[in-house]
Structure 1
Amino acid sequence: MTADEKTDPEEVDEAADVEQEEIAGILAVRNTVQSTAGQLIGHEFDGVSEISPTDDGWRAVVEVVERRAVPDTQDIIGRYEIELDTEATVHGYRRLDRYRRGDTTEFE
């Protein structure tokens, strides 16, 4: 092993702490959007499809059922972007698009 390949144990611990803080932040955002998306948007919450950091906090993309249908592959799903600050407080949202649940061509 060369000197360049050696790892400082303190650097490993610091990296692990930073990673745990980032995971905790993502989990806080996920919990916030799961508990508030349905009320905020006014439709049944279906799932979180994306969470990413921004310069001002967080951006989450959620899916809600805008219209139920039979069969359920014909449900109309709305994809919404929710903006949150660094404390996971919601500051706004907007609809990105709508699609039928069974229509996956857009995502392939």
Structure 2
Amino acid sequence: MASAEPRRSRRPSPEEGEGTARAKPARKTSARRRVSGAAAAMRSAVEQVSELLGRVPESVSSVRPIEDGWEAQVEVLELERIPDTTSILASYKVTVDAEGELISYERTRRYSRGMIDRPT
């Protein structure tokens, strides 16, 4: 059974011109949206920190929700050495907002890869 109403998802042809009613897109590419969950927030943070530092983070050692986004500790290789256990890493505190945009980052610690944290 065919519907009398035209389908809204059809794209108008170039001949139909601008005056033709069009269906609104599901979302604009420039619209900001909330990232869904810690994993998505951290993928976004790692990508942005990598771009700023020019180094790909090795891991995310912690992540926690905050009032308006996420906060994480991201581990970055800063100086590669031989043997690998003497390479220098840094831990960065990274904050992203609810949309996954980087708000701040701060280096909180530098250490050699072979160093083990000892309880105090």
TM-score by length of 2: 0.64
CA distance in 2, matches of 1:102, 1:85: 33
Aligned equivalents of 1:44, 1:84: Cα separation in 2: 17
Q: SS of 1:80's equivalent?
A: strand
Does residue 74 (structure 1) correspond to residue 86 (structure 2)? The answer is: yes
Structure 1 residues not aligned, in runs of 5+: 1-23
1:40 to 35, 52, 69: 52
What's 1:91 paired with? Answer: 103
Match of 1:28 among 2, 22, 40: 40
CA deviation vs aligned residue, 1:1-24 (integer Å, no higher than 9, x gap):
xxxxxxxxxxxxxxxxxxxxxxx4
After superposition, the C-alpha distances for 1:44-90 in whole angstroms (9 at most, x for unaligned) are: 32111111011121101100001000011001000001111111111
> What TM-score comes out, normalization by structure 1 length?
0.70
Q: What is the root-mean-square deviation in Å for CA atoms of aligned residues?
A: 1.8
- Distance 1:31-1:86 versus aligned 2 partners, 3 A rule: same
Q: Please give the alpha-carbon distance, in whole angstroms, between the structure 2 residues aligned to 1:69 and 1:44.
A: 16
SS state of the match for residue 104, structure 1? coil
Larger Rg: 2
How far apart, CA to CA, are the structure 2 residues paired with 1:99 and 1:43? 16
Please state which structure has a larger fraction of its residues in helix.
1
Post-superposition CA distance 1:20-46 (Å, at most 9, x none): xxxx41121121123222222333321
The answer as to whether partners of 2:55 and 2:77 remain within 8 angstroms in 1 is: yes
